[in-house]
């Protein structure tokens, strides 16, 4: 079997049993896009407008629905319609971080009912394995997938060393539901104990902190290029936010569209170089 880094997204999709992981990899291959756009705006109209513009160029949209000031459940319905219209998956960046029973309620209930519409969500591993138990009790029957935050892109992040290693061990113990990581590099071989092997292991790596024009934002965020992330670090999906829709919340749709296509092209070119393909 070829190294994960040399396999196509479709080859990898065939080896995944989790529906969310399989769907994301198939979407990436179908759309020739490993771009995820993070839409962090506070007004429903801005949120939907940006997603409608970038939709054709992305495999995944990342949301923070709790920052939307005029949220109502019709927003979810419109987001789902856009997901079908433009053929992308949905990732609510909730970063769950509580005990199992609490996160199960946060995931299934309340105002947002995240599990009902988000194909993928994520969690901090700091509470230990119970957080996966709680979230999987809700998400697994719905065919959802979970990412663990193994690393972060902010300066001074504490998600390093043994913390990262334990996150990977937790993922290995829950492969039916944990589909990958938020990280800055591949996690293959991390946290292995004596006698263990990562042969055949394929966790997806989604990477924030991607930018083509700036190296930081003055608030601790650090940026790397799509080439650095996909080719040099072996990550699978680039996550871009303000680099695409800017500080004016995407007021100029043509500019947003051009940036989305630019990042899509750069991310895909880095992937093609990684697998040795020019097709």
Measured CA to CA, the distance from residue 40 to residue 62 in angstroms comes to: 8
Q: Is 43 annotated as a binding residue?
A: no
Q: Is 80 annotated as a binding residue?
A: no
Q: What are the start-end ranges of the H helices in the chain?
A: 9-13, 19-31, 44-54, 73-86, 100-108, 130-139, 162-172, 226, 242-245, 253-275
Q: Is 241 annotated as a binding residue?
A: yes
Q: Strand 145-149 vs strand 204-207: parallel, antiparallel, or unpaired?
A: unpaired
Measured CA to CA, the distance from residue 163 to residue 170 in angstroms comes to: 11
248 is catalytic: no
Q: Is 221 annotated as a binding residue?
A: yes
95 is catalytic: yes
Q: Strand 120-123 vs strand 89-96: parallel, antiparallel, or unpaired?
A: parallel
Contact 264, 248 (CB under 8 A): no
Q: Determine which one of 87, 98, 188, 217 is catalytic.
A: 98
Residue of 146, 117, 149, 150 whose CA lies nearest to 134: 146
User: Which residues make Cβ contacts (< 8 Å) with residue 164, sequence separation at least 6?
Assistant: 150, 151, 183, 187, 190, 191
98 is catalytic: yes
Q: Tokens 């924030």 sit at which residue?
A: 208
Q: Determine which one of 22, 31, 93, 236 is catalytic.
A: 93
Q: Is 52 annotated as a binding residue?
A: no
Residue of 175, 223, 215 whose CA lies nearest to 38: 223
Q: Is 153 annotated as a binding residue?
A: yes
Annotated binding site: 40, 62, 153, 221, 241-242
Positions marked active-site:
93, 95, 98
Going by the annotation, the residues of the binding site for substrate are: 40, 62, 153, 221, 241-242
């Amino acid at each position: 079997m070829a190294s994960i880094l040399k396999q196509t997204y479709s080859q990898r999709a065939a080896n995944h049993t989790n529906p969310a992981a399989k769907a994301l990899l198939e979407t990436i291959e179908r759309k020739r896009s490993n771009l995820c756009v993070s839409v962090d705006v506070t007004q429903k109209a801005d949120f939907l407008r940006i997603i409608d513009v970038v939709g054709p160029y992305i495999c995944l949209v990342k949301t923070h629905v709790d920052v939307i000031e005029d949220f109502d459940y019709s927003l979810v319905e419109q987001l789902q319609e856009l997901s079908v219209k433009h053929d992308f998956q949905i990732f609510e960046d909730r970063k769950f971080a509580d005990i199992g029973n609490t996160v199960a309620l946060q995931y299934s209930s309340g105002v947002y009912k995240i599990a009902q519409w988000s194909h993928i969500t994520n969690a901090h591993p700091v509470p230990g394995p119970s957080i996966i138990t709680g979230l999987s009790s809700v998400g697994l029957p719905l065919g959802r997938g979970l990412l663990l935050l193994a690393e972060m892109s902010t300066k001074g992040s504490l998600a390093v060393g043994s913390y990262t290693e334990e996150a990977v061990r937790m993922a290995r113990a829950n492969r039916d539901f944990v589909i990958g990581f938020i990280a800055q590099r591949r996690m293959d071989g991390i946290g292995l104990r004596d006698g263990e092997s990562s042969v055949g292991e394929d966790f997806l790596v989604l990477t924030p902190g991607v930018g083509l024009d700036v190296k930081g934002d003055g608030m601790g965020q650090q940026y790397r290029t799509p080439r650095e992330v996909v080719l040099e670090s072996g990550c699978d999906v680039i996550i871009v936010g303000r680099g695409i829709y800017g500080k004016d919340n995407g007021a100029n749709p043509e500019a947003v569209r051009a940036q989305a296509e630019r990042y899509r092209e750069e991310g895909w070119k880095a992937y093609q170089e990684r697998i040795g393909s020019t097709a």
